Amino acid sequence: MSGFILRKFADLVGQGVKTDKGFKEVHVNSVAKALTEFSGQEVTGTQVYNHLRKWRQKWIRVCRLKDLSSAHWDENTFTIILDDEHLLGHTKDNPKDAEFLNVPIENYVQMQIIFGAGQATGKYAMASNEPLGTISDITEGAGASEEPCLVGTGATASGSAGASPSHSGAGAGSSYGSNGKKRRLSDEELGIMAGLTGAVNKLAEAVQAPVVVQTTDVHPDLYQICMSIPGFTDEELMTCLTYLLDNKRQGDGFVKMEPKHRVLWLRQHLAKI
């Protein structure tokens, strides 16, 4: 789920969308629409935005950890490396940093593309210590938790069932009543969908990958030698040539034969057909 959202926003950046002031409402809603179509479940722009905001906060933490004097950055694996002593001491004082240390950082490339251009400000600001517009009001009641949920289980992140932000836009004001007409994803379904997303991505890569046809080299003189043997029709010679092309060892042996033995081989082969 996270990978899908981040890839969509990274694609937007690749298309030239500026992120120094954050993403516009139309971009957030376009990702929400794509996720709704992909998952078959209603997803609002507010939910997508708050999920993106969570990853912005992760990016800020990653940047801070990369600047540690004792840290080494592995560009190949996108890993912040600390020696055992520093790792033990740092995680003891900052246990929440453990998930970012000495392990490849999840979705690092996408975060760098999306957030690396600069700090967003204004209505679509991503940092937790900045004023937020109405699109993120869904998280304010919970104290702007560091990890707001993409979707809830029947109530908003502020704890009030069916509440919706004043923000208007495609899908952003959708509410979920007790009648269950618009069912939200459970944690279990989110996990299943995340797995499906990875499977679909791998399938898409396989479908888009160029087909490599492996061919076995044949003797360059095979065609000329076979088709120039007298006493046979072109159809007969072509039948034998096709067999020799499909069987490299037979073709190589045929080229090395004496002319009279080639004639004998052709007669025997045609007699078997």
* Res. 247: pLDDT tops 60: yes
Between 174 and 192, residue with greater pLDDT? 192
Domain ranges of the chain: 2-208, 222-272
Dihedral over alpha carbons 98, 104, 105, 111 (to 10 degrees): 170
Q: Give percent of the chain above pLDDT 90.
A: 34
46 closest CA partner among 132, 161, 142, 153: 132
3-state secondary structure the chain: CHHHHHHHHHHHHHCCCCCCCCCCHHHHHHHHHHHHHHHCCCCCHHHHHHHHHHHHHHHHHHHHHHCCCCCEEECCCCEEECCHHHHHHHHHHCHHHHHHECCECCCHHHHHHHHCCCCCCHHHCCCCCCCCCHHHHHHHHHCCCCCCCCCCCCCCCCCCCCCCCCCCCCCCCCCCCCCCCCCCCCHHHHHHHHHHHHHHHHHHHHHHCCCCCCCCCCCCCHHHHHHCCCCCCHHHHHHHHHHHHHCHHHHHHHHHCCHHHHHHHHHHHHHHC
Question: What is the residue-averaged pLDDT of the chain?
Answer: 73
Residues near 84 by beta carbon (within 8 Å), at least 6 away in sequence? none
Considering the chain, what percentage of its residues have pLDDT values greater than 70? 63
Asked if pLDDT for residue 191 goes beyond 80, the answer is no
Q: 201 or 231, which is more confident?
A: 231
Vertex 197 angle, CA 111 and 170, to 5°: 70
pLDDT score at 230: 93
Residue 49 has pLDDT above 60, yes or no: yes
| Predicted local confidence at residue 215, as pLDDT | 45
Q: What is the pLDDT of residue 134?
A: 36
Paired strand residues for 164:
none
pLDDT tens digit sequence for 72-125: 999 899 999 999 999 999 999 999 999 999 999 999 999 988 888 643 333 334
What is the pLDDT at residue 246? Answer: 86
Q: Worst-scoring range by mean pLDDT, 2-6, 62-66, 202-206? A: 202-206
pLDDT at residue 255 in the model: 93
Of residues 47 and 137, the one with the higher pLDDT is 47
Of 140, 126, 109, 151, the C-alpha closest to 56 is 126
Does residue 171 carry a pLDDT above 60?
no
For residues 218 and 255, the model is more confident at: 255
Band the pLDDT of 194: cuts 50, 70, 90.
Answer: low
- Residue 130, pLDDT score: 39
| Residues facing 224 on adjacent strands | none
